[in-house]
């Protein structure tokens, strides 16, 4: 094996590991710019992964599966937006509920649909070409989201709601509608991250397959300073660690320590950036309609 | 608690039960099971005989410790989502000391429990420290620390602390003197349930009667005012996260010392997350939390026999718990968070 092919394999693995985190982090960035913290990204990824496998299995079409996964992520996010935005409940607590609910539905559904616990059987997957498209699409999504947030009127509305929904209201923006839409689109992106895991990288659903990526995505949002390109960069950074871990594991270095690195890096970032990088001022603060 | 708050508590509990019944019924119908058959096998499996009631109370004690810890932190305005990691490390520490310390039960049991409390407390204090010192968001910090705790426990048990005579992924058997004594013959129920009830009484006393409890509540309810009144809100945050983690750590310890008798991957089916639902249903108040822990204990222990007898996948419990959390996230006592001090 020559150096080029080793390097190529390493870069490819980094992209593979970064892509699902990137989708979730991009979705979460949009929601947080609108002022809604989405602790439930993990659950939205899980439900997206599960739905894509169920529909791909039922229809034989992985494309239909992918669309179903996006729709499932959006639907769960809409439920979250209903309680967190419309009813203004505590976003942290509701997000924890969303995670428990989604992972429960996937585990329950696994037994109901596939008559076995732990993992589904193999289903039609998107294949290598589909996987490459999804990796490229993540970069395209980051660019699109950047343009939407910084250059479009709706993006301005989103930012206004994230900084001060009351002032946004006075300016004629409907904060609830804007936040609802931002969270739902964010959920669709997180669902797509789940689709990538289930029928992009693999061809089945395994219980717990999201494995904390939704939480890493929350760290990537902070690392990326609430910008789409920042979130993408942070996801690539975490993907780099993940592929380093796979590579070093072959060399006999305990995998747990390497696996923990991105989370430890996130903790350091959390402590170090807290004073410098600023979250949207109204991030996580419910809007009560006044 | 005022009469009005008591009625509110009952109404919320009623709401939670109603939602659980409706969502549970729908899920059972999806699986092709008659909900009446499903729920009766759940209740029968949880309360049908002495041994089953014992299992339910074991689940109650496993949930009560982390739920009390979560309530303590939440009352101080700190969202400790990290009970799961604190519980796992508490269980590992207790299992290690319990398997290693040759001493009479009166020494071995308190020492192993203390080890669990210290491990959980230290883990909780990391998030508390990051919050107090750097203003780091404790929600994200505890979520990260959960994953790191699971990896750390896995690393330690696979490399340093595993049973030399047994499998690589578990610690050695806890010595007989460190195993919690069974209090009802014919069941696996140990003094863990009595310890959990005592912990509920202590947390209630600390919150209601001590200076620390007052400062904690003041910090949670009106951080600006607490700061101006001379309360050291940073120190309070650090202490709240430490005690919160210690309670979760004891929760892990009693599961290891009382049920599993060693640390392994079966320690927690997510007690640290379910305990959030328990704390919310109990309105962050130790007495109702105790009742809520029993209710969720019924769910956890009855689900096993419901799967075996009625054919309802036991994962239905997580679905119901998630919906209950969503339904109760709007309670007014969580509102203080909006105006907290960095």
- Count of CB contacts below 8 A, A vs B? 156
Question: SS3 letters for chain A?
Answer: CCHHHHHHHHHHHHHHHHHHHHHHHHHHHHHHHCCCCCCCHHHHHHHHHHHHHHHHHHHCCHHHHHHHHHHHHHHHHHHHHHHHHHCCCCHHHHHHHHHHHHHHHHHHHHHHHHCCCCECCCCCCCHHHHHHHHHHHHHHHHHHHHHHHHHCHHHHHHHHHHHCHHHHHHCCCCHHHHHHHHHHHHHHHHHHHHHHHHHHHCCCCECCCCCCHHHHHHHHHHHCCCCHHHHHHHHHHHHHHHHHHHHHHHCCCCHHHHHHHHHHHHHHHHHHHCCCCCCCCCCCCCCCCC
Contact A97 B318 (CB under 8 A): no
Beta bridge partners of A119: A206
Q: Which of A54-68, A198-212, B313-327 has the lowest mean pLDDT?
A: B313-327
CB within 8 Å: A270 and B143: no
Separation CA B234–CA B333 (nearest Å): 21
Comparing CA positions, the residue from A192, A199, A137, A185 lying closest to residue A31 is A185
Query: Residue B79: closest CA among chain A residues belongs to which residue?
Result: A92
Segment B148-154 shows an average pLDDT of: 93
Instruction: Check CB contact under 8 Å for B313 and A96.
Output: no
What is the C-alpha to C-alpha distance for residues A29 and A283, in angstroms, rounded to an integer? Answer: 11
List the one residue out of A135, A24, A38, A180 whose CA is nearest residue A96: A38
Kindly report the nearest CA distance between residue B85 and chain A, in angstroms. Answer: 13
Rg (CA), chain B: 20
- Residue A42 near residue A210, CB atoms below 8 Å: yes
**Residues A56, A123: contact at Cβ < 8 Å?**
yes
Q: What is the pLDDT of residue B342?
A: 31
Distance CA B255, CA B278 (A): 18
Helix/strand/coil for B96? helix
Per-residue three-class SS string for B181-200? CECCCCCCCECHHHHHHHHH
Query: Is A249's Cβ below 8 Å from some Cβ in B?
Result: no
Among candidates B30, B326, B337 on the partner chain, residue whose Cβ is nearest the Cβ of A101: B326
- Residue-level length of chain B: 342
pLDDT digits (tens, 9 = 90+) for A77-115: 999 999 998 888 888 889 989 999 999 999 999 999 999
Q: Is A92 on the interface with B (CB under 8 A)?
A: yes
- The complex's ipTM works out to 0.88
Q: Read off the tokens for A263.
A: 């989370």
Give the H/E segment covering residue B54.
helix B50-75
CA dist., res. B275 & res. B62, Å (int) = 9
Tally of helices (H runs) and strands (E runs) in chain B: 13, 0
User: A8 CB near a chain B CB, below 8 Å?
Assistant: no
Buried-state track A88-100, b at ≥16 Cβ within 10 A, e below 16? bbbbbbbbbbbbb
User: What distance in Å separates residue A130's CA from the closest CA in chain B?
Assistant: 30
B308 and chain A in contact, CB less than 8 A:
no
Which among A117, A219, A275 has the least Cβ separation from residue B144?
Answer: A219
CA angle A133, A139, A145 (to 5 degrees): 125
Structure tokens at A117: 């616990």
What residues contact residue B178 under an 8 Å CB cut-off, 6+ apart?
Answer: B97, B98, B99, B101, B105, B108, B109, B111, B112, B257
Which residue does chain A place closest to B340, by CA atoms? Answer: A285
pLDDT of residue B166: 72
pTM of the model: 0.90
Tokens 């604190």, residue located: B86
pLDDT per residue over B6-56, tens digit each?
Answer: 676 677 778 778 888 899 999 999 989 999 999 999 999 999 999 999 999
Choose the weakest-confidence range: A39-43, A48-52, A246-250: A246-250
Cβ contact B144–A215 (<8 Å): yes
Query: Which of chain A's residues have a Cβ under 8 Å away from the Cβ of B159?
Result: 254
Q: Mean pLDDT across the stretch B295-303?
A: 92
| Angle CA A198–A203–A206, to nearest 5 | 55
- Which A residues in the span 155-194 are in contact with B, Cβ-Cβ below 8 Å? none
Distance CA A191, CA A226 (A): 20
Residue A35's φ and ψ, nearest 5 degrees, are 100, 15
Mean pLDDT in chain A? Answer: 91
Cβ under 8 Å to A: B residues 116-135? 126, 130, 133-135
Report the 10 Å Cβ neighbour count for A255: 17
- The SS3 of residue B168 is coil
Q: Do B325 and A89 touch (CB under 8 A)?
A: no
Residue A264 confidence (pLDDT): 87
Question: What mean pLDDT do residues A128-153 have?
Answer: 97
Q: Is A93 on the interface with B (CB under 8 A)?
A: yes
- Asked if B247 is an interface residue toward chain A (Cβ–Cβ < 8 A), one would say no
Residue A55: its pLDDT value, please?
97
Name residues 100-159 of chain A within 8 A of B (Cβ): 100-105, 107-108, 110-112, 117
Please report the pLDDT score of residue B136 as a whole number. Answer: 85
pLDDT of amino acid A288: 76
Res B35: pLDDT: 93
CB-nearest partner of A107 from B31, B134, B318: B318
Kindly indicate the confidence band of residue A274, based on its pLDDT and cuts at 50, 70 and 90.
very low
Nearest residue of A to residue B151 by CA position? A256
**Residues with Cβ within 8 Å of residue A59, at least 6 apart in sequence:** A65
Across the interface, whether the CB atoms of A104 and B280 are under 8 A apart is answered no
Whether chain B has a CB inside 8 Å of the CB on A257: the answer is yes
Largest CA distance in chain B: 60
Chain A contact set for B31 (CB, 8 A): 108, 111-112
Q: How far is B334 from chain A (nearest CA, A)?
A: 7
DSSP label of B313: -
B341 and A CB contact within 8 Å? no
Residue with structure tokens 């096993």?
Answer: B304
Contact B318 A270 (CB under 8 A): no
B109: pLDDT strictly greater than 60: yes
**Chain B positions in Cβ-Cβ contact with residue A28 (cut-off 8 Å):** none
Q: How far apart are CA A222 and CA A280, in angstroms?
A: 11
**Contact state of B140 with A256 under an 8 Å Cβ cutoff:** no
CB contacts of A79 in chain B (<8 Å) are 326
């Amino acid at each position: 094996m020559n150096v080029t092919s080793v390097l190529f394999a390493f870069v490819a693995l980094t992209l593979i590991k970064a892509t699902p985190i990137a989708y979730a982090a991009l979705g979460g960035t949009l929601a947080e710019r609108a002022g809604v913290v989405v602790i439930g990204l993990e659950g939205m990824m899980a439900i997206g992964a599960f739905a894509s496998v169920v529909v791909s299995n039922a229809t034989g079409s992985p494309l239909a599966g992918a669309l179903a996964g996006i729709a499932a992520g959006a639907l769960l996010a809409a439920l979250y937006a209903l309680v967190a935005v419309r009813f203004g409940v505590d976003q942290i607590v509701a997000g924890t509920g969303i995670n428990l609910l989604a992972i429960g539905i996937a585990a329950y559904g696994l037994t109901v649909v596939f008559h076995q616990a732990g993992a589904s059987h193999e289903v039609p997957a998107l294949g290598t070409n589909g996987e490459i498209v999804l990796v490229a699409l993540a970069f395209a999504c980051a660019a699109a989201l950047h343009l939407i947030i910084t250059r479009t009127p709706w993006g301005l509305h989103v930012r206004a709601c994230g900084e001060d929904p009351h002032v946004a209201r006075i300016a004629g923006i409907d904060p609830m509608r804007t936040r609802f839409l931002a969270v739902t689109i964010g959920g669709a992106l997180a669902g797509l991250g789940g689709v990538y895991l289930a029928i992009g990288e693999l061809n089945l659903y395994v219980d717990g397959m999201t494995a904390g990526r939704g939480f890493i995505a929350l760290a990537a949002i902070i690392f990326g300073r609430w910008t789409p390109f920042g979130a993408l960069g942070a996801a690539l950074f975490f993907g780099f660690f993940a592929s380093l871990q796979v590579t070093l594991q072959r060399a006999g270095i305990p995998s747990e320590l390497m696996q923990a690195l991105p989370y430890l890096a996130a903790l350091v970032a959390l402590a170090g950036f807290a004073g410098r990088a600023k979250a949207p001022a109204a991030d996580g603060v419910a809007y009560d309609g006044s | 608690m005022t009469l009005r708050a008591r009625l509110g508590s009952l109404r919320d509990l009623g709401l939670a039960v109603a939602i659980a019944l409706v969502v549970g019924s729908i899920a059972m119908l999806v699986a092709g099971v008659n909900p009446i058959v499903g729920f009766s096998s759940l209740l029968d499996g949880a309360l049908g005989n002495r041994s089953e009631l014992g299992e339910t109370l074991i689940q109650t004690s496993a949930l009560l410790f982390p739920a009390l810890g979560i309530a303590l932190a939440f009352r101080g305005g700190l969202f400790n989502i990290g009970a799961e990691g604190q519980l796992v490390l508490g269980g590992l520490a207790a299992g290690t000391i319990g398997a290693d310390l040759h001493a009479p039960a009166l020494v071995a049991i308190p020492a192993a429990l203390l080890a669990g409390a210290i491990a959980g407390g230290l883990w909780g204090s990391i998030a508390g420290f990051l919050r107090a010192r750097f203003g780091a968001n404790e929600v994200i910090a505890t979520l990260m620390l959960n994953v790191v705790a699971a990896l750390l426990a896995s690393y330690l048990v696979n490399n340093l602390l595993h049973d030399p005579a047994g499998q690589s992924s578990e610690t050695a058997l806890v010595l007989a003197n460190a195993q919690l004594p069974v209090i009802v013959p014919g069941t696996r129920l140990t003094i863990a349930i009595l310890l959990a009830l005592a912990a509920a009484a202590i947390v209630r006393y600390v919150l209601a009667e001590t200076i620390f409890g007052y400062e904690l509540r003041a910090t949670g309810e009106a951080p600006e005012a607490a700061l101006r009144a001379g309360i050291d809100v940073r120190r309070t945050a650090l202490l709240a996260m430490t005690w919160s983690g210690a309670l979760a750590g004891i929760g892990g310890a009693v599961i290891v010392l009382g049920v599993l008798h060693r640390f392994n991957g079966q320690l927690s089916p997510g007690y640290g997350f379910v305990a959030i639902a328990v704390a919310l249903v109990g309105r962050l108040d130790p007495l109702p939390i105790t009742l809520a822990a029993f209710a969720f204990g019924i769910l956890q222990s009855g689900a096993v026999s419901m799967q075996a007898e009625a054919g309802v996948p036991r994962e239905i419990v997580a679905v119901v718990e998630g919906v209950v959390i969503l339904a109760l996230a709007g309670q007014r006592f969580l509102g203080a968070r909006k105006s907290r001090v960095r």
